[in-house]
Amino acid sequence: MCLSVAAAYIGSLFSQGTLWTVFTTYLFFIAIWLLMIGGALLVLEGGMFDGMMYSFRHFKKHTSKKEAYISRQTKEWRPSRTGRHKFSLTYPFLFSGGALFLFTVAASLAQ
């Protein structure tokens, strides 16, 4: 979070306009990016796309000649199920993005 604040401050030094307004604008954009990254990691962590990946593997098995030949010879097909992914940065991204978002909303209302 400190790196985000420092990046927003450095960016606001080289921009036109009042320092506080440009600083809160840059900080808001950084907060939105952090929230989007954290949200995307949270969705991936929840396994929302596992069913879609399973159906793609199943489709490939039925359309591939090599896979069809192997299935007929062994008379079985077991798709590899991927385990749940755990990302260590999900909640830090969400927390820092949420905190910066609330700070920028409060700062913009205080102006």
- Cα gap 49→91, rounded to integer Å: 20
pLDDT for 80 equals 57
pLDDT for 36 equals 95
Tokens 């939105």 identify what position?
32
- Do 44 and 85 meet the contact criterion of CB atoms below 8 Å apart? yes
pLDDT for 102 equals 95
111 residues of the chain, pLDDT tens digit each: 788 888 888 888 888 888 888 899 999 999 999 999 999 998 888 877 777 777 887 777 777 677 667 767 776 655 555 566 788 888 999 999 999 999 999 998 987
Query: Cβ neighbours of residue 111 under 8 Å, at least 6 residues apart?
Result: 20, 21
pLDDT for 98 equals 94
- Cα gap 106→100, rounded to integer Å: 10
